[in-house]
Chains A and B, each alone.
Chain A
């Protein structure tokens, strides 16, 4: 297989990009973030908008809030309803994004849910629901996004995992299993499509100030914070920064990586 763009030597790496337009500098790219209406997903949406990209944000319940966004950013934001557990909705969402914004060049598979309880009390429905959204949902959106990326010989995929995938988390056997599954998925896919200039990476956030953490309760959240070497939780924007980096030109040679953004919580794992 001889891809376009030429091989180039090591020294000419930045000049001789092999991946078409997908890795071009921020600005004007088409980015799709699932679960882009709140928490980390919303922070990613805001970050890419600030970088000048056109951003599709999928959501199930309420659309992403527009307050505080400058008009030029609102104009570049496309909220799309999509339940990632529904293949037909995933297909329809991508069709709409492609029609209105163009081919998806950066995919952030972020949509996730929790159904926390100890395994002994975890019924099969709670297991399946979390796996279906957090792991199979990522499969659905990645699979739909990949064809156009392969044809275009370039693209960026970022999967939102969790520190719990590496560290384990009592009460989150389903969640941690799904989030760990994303790591195997990303690394295998990175091998499948590396030759097409597509990178596939994982971000593993630690304790982040979101609704999901608030739901754990103050005591558990405080206990977790006490385990973090940096001694505090992260803002969603700090996770979005790592996602934006993996989607940037500076990360062109990074694929199959698991980037922990956890204040050191799971370091070494």
Chain B
């Protein structure tokens, strides 16, 4: 294979509010049965990238649990495989990952000992499908030093993205990281293709200068020196790292065309297998326009919602426009509207939760007595 994969999955930000207390964003549950990182991992596997490093730092327990075996994404091979790198203390370094470039620098020996000529860098919080080979071919054809996969931003506010401007040859002329006012709605997806030796050189130089960020200290700084090109995609891409975009991305899967794009069209998205029984619908339940994952037992009423794995919905519950994460127990007569219910929680009977302006995140941390 011609490329290595690196997935940056260390991140966290306060825009995820309470949801980030428990896990890295890359481990956020998506679309009923998946985790965010499944998309980048599956894309790597589907692009025949056989050697992938996942760089993780913030609250990695949930992510590590999800990545407990590489076989779900077909990485358990003699050639290559999946490597999970968390920061470690070594003789000459005792820092955490101080930034994305530093995270790569601290694992430079892995890059150096590999022989693949190119590296595909992706983030763990993008929901998309992409054949990286196409980006790689483009990268080679353009004789680029770095190729940045970009897309038109569908949100009005681009201030949480890297904003680009390309010339007619697709070479990137402007690159602003999280600008307050942006000149363009073309944003970086956080997916890059770069020659392995080039990356090693840039990251080493960066470290010498005590700089640590892949975007600010490499892409932006080098943009006039190196040939940095944009590869524009028009297919579905969403970054989930705010509560609103997380909510919206999940709700997108209620649309048949989105489900068909991700799950109907080959190749699909893989995930860890949980061995849960099929969902069960008891008398008196009513489910409209919703996604229900396996292991759920439904007694109440559900509308326009995404119910993740192993959720129990009690009698007379009413769930509307909401997301209920894995392994939640909803007691009888509970009302949930415009909410995201955090995983493994127990909501007592007769509870009332309604997001008045915007999405409410429900975290109750009750003991579960139900059998």
Q: Do A and B come from one complex?
A: no
Mark B residues whose CB is within 8 Å of A.
Answer: none
